[in-house]
Structure 1
Amino acid sequence: MKLYKNTTQAVIDSLTQIFGDKKYADKVIEKILKQNSKWGARDRRFIAETTYDIVRWYRLLMEVTPCGPHDYWKLLGGWCAMNEQELPDWVEFEGLNRKAILRKWEEVKTVRKIAESIPDWMDEQGEKELGRIWHDELKALNEEARVVLRVNSLKTNVKKLYREFSEVEVEVTLDERYPEALILAQRQNVFKLPQFKEGLFEVQDAGSQAIAPFLQVEPGMRVIDACAGAGGKTLHLAALMQNKGRIISMDTEEWKLTELKLRARRAGVGNVETRVIESTKTIKRMEKMGDRVLLDVPCSGLGVLRRNPDAKWKLSTEFIEKVIDLQQNILHDYSMMVKPGGKLVYSTCSLMPTENEKQVAKFLTNNPDFTLEEEKHIWPSEGFDGFYMARVVRKA
């Protein structure tokens, strides 16, 4: 592909904001793409995919390219060399030699933390906690994330929506492991599709789609989604409950619950009530009220690095230590909302036992009125994002 100055400059501007200003990559790219209405689909794809790829391989590119940490033109040149992309005769690329870059790659490609482009501490932590499987999971986390849709069963079904997409040449595939998922063959802006505006689907990774069914909800239950965020799993729970019963969706951030309400209206969901968690009193008022409680807790996000590659450069061991304490506090405090005989699911998008199995084991030791019923891993090497979930039962 030929490089053009305006789209290439957009990549440089994106990298400057992501690394220089420490902004989130998805927000930066979304804003950049809105700046020029004349860019076509190919231009937008080049800007987004190239930016994400350079962010993903930042450490490797820094290692093989003669440049400083904020010389984004040289980083782009190194990316071009690694991807057999011809470099234009631009002043920004002066001094770059493709053969020298590839020779350097040959020297470092057996050093995992460089070849897979992650910080030293992350490689050490992964090796320590996951042992021999860390290598394969890490490789999977460097693959490009696929766009997955969850079909809204309140309004349609997988076969019907599959046919609709075929008629408008939107190519999707199925995966028997995830009965409500449609996987896009090619990345595109699905939010412009009329089927999205009609509430026929939500964008939700296939691994994430496994969590709501794991809670084993039934129509008519009282269900509490206590870390609801913008409500992806709440909407899935509502569909599984056939809009019957009651879902109380809670979060500490009111703006997220406002977004949830908008999404619920589009999806035709009518059994959701939102509550802002203002203090521990909000939780105590709901003691023993839930037939089911979902705790999709804050975590390191190591299972979704293929979707958020900039997180590799923002995370730290100090942050993870803090989030582990927060997870245990949420488990301890929010579990009071489960009624006797009810069930709670603890879930994360992390791979690490310190955030997963060990958290649940510690909770069960300190809360003997709960017992483990089932736990489940979804690994990035299986093709989608990585998740952990454990279902515990409160003794009647």
Structure 2
Amino acid sequence: MRAEALVGHAAELLRRMLRSAQPPDAVAQEYFRQRSYLGSKERRFVAEVTFAAVRCWGILRWCLARQSAPSVSVSPEWLVVVAMGYLGVQLGNPHLVPAFAAAAQVSENELWENLLTQVGWGVRGLKWLEELGQRVCVLERELQLLLRQPYSEWGPLQWELFSAACSFPEWILRCWMDNPWTSLTPAEVFLLCRTLMMPALPCVRVNTMRTSREHLLEELRQRGIAATPTVFSPVGIRLWERIAVHGLEPYRAGMLEVQEEGSQLVGYAVAPQATWRLWDACAGAGGKTLHLATLQQDRGEIWATDVDALRLRALRQRLRRAGVRSVRVGVLRPHDSLSNLPRRFDAVLIDAPCSGIGTVRRTPTLKWRLSPSALRRHQQRQLRLLQQYSSRVAPGGILVYATCSLMPEENFGVVTQFLKQHPEWEAEPIEPVFQSMGIQLPWILPQRPECLLLPSRHGTDGFFIARFRRRHSKR
């Protein structure tokens, strides 16, 4: 396909993503379903450059606003796509140019001249691209000077520059630096944001009831798939390329599940004994439910509930494929009674609905749509879930609260308020729990019940995990 047509498809998909309330992967799936004539290489480039453009939206807008395009006959989205493709290496997405060249069936050296000739920009277009690259260099130099100043002295122009370089809304950056629960420095925030501008690599979890990690790694190697053990999870495997995992024979045989490493660590924070009765109260499609079942070797009793019946249907399919029999699945809506559940559980996991800011490498539109009012609503719902569902934990039992958010209000703020209102709960240090599973996590404060996983530190998605124990009643 001609390079110009590829950019046109990417620009249209970008326009739809930015205007749709649906997750970007759902928008892309529907776009490609309606255009079945696009080949695999073409779909790959269009999807990857579009997702990268949303991840890097702030820095792209900053550069384009300071430079006139050679022509006004193209859409703003078209300019963003071309800028993202050209600046891919500088912005941590070096895979875009090879994907573009493969889809356009030209060499990488000829790619940009080929595209600009097709749209009639010629030499003017090449100069425009070179100046864009220089804009990024200027921004990075100004950022380094800015990071030497105390951020308390920054004015509106400095905050605008910092927000552009981070490609994140200013109010979220202020939350991370001003909130005493996180207190990240500007340099740490910038490193975090730059990490979140890069694509996330796929991760799978080994079903240890059917195979071992060593055996599965060898099988993947024989299939020509680059894969390595995860750094922290004892049963995780990181894939170093994007592949159709669902088409692999080991997946169909129930030997692996797609699950991000940070999500796997949530199951280890529960640390269930084999015969415990567990409740995964916000189970979704059941990645953590399945992991808990394997940690118990399918010998316990797990109740998995969620508000979304469609996601629970997917969980039932995954249970059958994995050969798990110890899980009971049921829909539980916000105002439903808990009377159909057992009165007491040995442990309850609340992986609460949240802003999802820790997953913006995969769902980048989230960071541009979140507002302070939406954040407050998330916080209120999370506290309500903790108060309601924690009542089913037996005395001496365990409560684990988790989110895939990096917002301190949803994490430290919620659990601090919960503990103040519920003296029957005590914080339990989480570091020894991980160590008992053979997991050494850096940047965990001793004697603290929580850990915050940062993509820039741990290489996982952003996750917050906290563990509490219910006190025995005094007689």
TM-score (norm 2): 0.78
Q: Which residue of 2 aligns with 1:71?
A: 76
Q: Out of 126, 132, 135, which is 1:104 matched to?
A: 135
What is the distance in 2 between the residues matched to 1:249 and 1:275?
Answer: 6
| Cα distance change, pair 377–3 in 1 and its aligned pair in 2 (3 A) | farther
Give the drift of 1:53.
0.8
Q: Is the 8 A contact 1:74 1:93 kept in 2?
A: no
What is the distance in 1 between the residues matched to 2:171 and 2:139?
Answer: 18
Farther off after superposition, 272-281 or 37-46: 37-46
Per-residue CA distance 1:134-183 (angstroms, 9 max, x = gap): 23322222221010011111211101111111221112111342111111
What is the distance in 1 between the residues matched to 2:20 and 2:386?
Answer: 34
| Cα distance change, pair 205–90 in 1 and its aligned pair in 2 (3 A) | same
Q: What is the 5 A alignment of 1:183-194? A: 183-194=238-249
Give the drift of 1:237.
0.7
Q: Which residue of 2 aligns with 1:390?
A: 466
What is the distance in 1 between the residues matched to 2:419 and 2:164?
Answer: 39
Q: Which residue of 2 aligns with 1:88?
A: 116
Q: Which residue of 2 aligns with 1:376?
A: 451
Give the drift of 1:127.
2.0
Give the drift of 1:289.
1.4
Q: Out of 284, 294, 309, which is 2:349 matched to?
A: 294
What is the distance in 1 between the residues matched to 2:317 and 2:2?
Answer: 40
What is the distance in 2 between the residues matched to 1:3 and 1:214?
Answer: 51
What is the distance in 2 between the residues matched to 1:83 and 1:353?
Answer: 31
Give the drift of 1:107.
4.0
Q: Which residue of 2 aligns with 1:49?
A: 48
Query: Is residue 2:271 matched to residue 1:243?
Result: no
Q: Is the 8 A contact 2:280 2:304 kept in 1?
A: yes
What is the distance in 2 between the residues matched to 1:279 and 1:122?
Answer: 28
Give the drift of 1:19.
1.1
Give the drift of 1:5.
4.0
Q: Which residue of 2 aligns with 1:231?
A: 286
What is the distance in 2 between the residues matched to 1:21 and 1:258?
Answer: 25
| Cα distance change, pair 33–179 in 1 and its aligned pair in 2 (3 A) | farther
What is the distance in 2 between the residues matched to 1:309 and 1:200?
Answer: 30
Q: Is the 8 A contact 1:73 1:93 kept in 2?
A: no
Q: Which runs of 5+ in 1 are unaligned?
A: none
Query: Is residue 2:176 matched to residue 1:126?
Result: yes
What is the distance in 1 between the residues matched to 2:406 and 2:34?
Answer: 37
For 2:328, give the aligned amino acid: E
Q: Which residue of 1 aligns with 2:17?
A: 18
Q: Which residue of 1 aligns with 2:317?
A: 262
Q: Out of 167, 180, 186, which is 1:117 matched to?
A: 167
| Cα distance change, pair 90–314 in 1 and its aligned pair in 2 (3 A) | farther
What is the distance in 2 between the residues matched to 1:48 and 1:4?
Answer: 15
3-state SS of the aligned residue for 1:199?
coil
3-state SS of the aligned residue for 2:9?
helix
Give the drift of 1:285.
5.0
| Cα distance change, pair 367–284 in 1 and its aligned pair in 2 (3 A) | farther
Q: Which residue of 1 aligns with 2:269?
A: 214
Give the drift of 1:36.
5.1
What is the distance in 2 between the residues matched to 1:119 and 1:279?
Answer: 31
Q: What is the 5 A alignment of 1:136-147? A: 136-147=191-202
What is the distance in 1 between the residues matched to 2:320 and 2:28?
Answer: 27
What is the distance in 1 between the residues matched to 2:209 and 2:412?
Answer: 34
Identity across matched positions, percent:
31
What is the distance in 2 between the residues matched to 1:347 and 1:338?
Answer: 16
What is the distance in 1 between the residues matched to 2:16 and 2:120?
Answer: 19
Q: Which runs of 5+ in 2 are unaligned?
A: 90-96, 98-111, 144-160, 430-449
Q: Which residue of 2 aligns with 1:151?
A: 206
Q: Is the 8 A contact 2:52 2:197 kept in 1?
A: no
For 2:257, give the aligned amino acid: E
Give the drift of 1:3.
5.9
Query: Is residue 2:235 matched to residue 1:180?
Result: yes
| Cα distance change, pair 128–325 in 1 and its aligned pair in 2 (3 A) | same
Q: Which residue of 1 aligns with 2:107?
A: none
Give the drift of 1:213.
1.3
Per-residue CA distance 1:188-243 (angstroms, 9 max, x = gap): 11111111111111111111110011101122211000011111101111111111
Larger radius of gyration: 2
| Cα distance change, pair 224–92 in 1 and its aligned pair in 2 (3 A) | farther
What is the distance in 1 between the residues matched to 2:360 and 2:8?
Answer: 25
Q: Out of 173, 183, 201, which is 2:256 matched to?
A: 201
What is the distance in 2 between the residues matched to 1:176 and 1:52?
Answer: 26
3-state SS of the aligned residue for 2:466?
strand
Farther off after superposition, 54-63 or 334-343: 54-63
3-state SS of the aligned residue for 1:339?
strand
Farther off after superposition, 86-95 or 202-211: 86-95
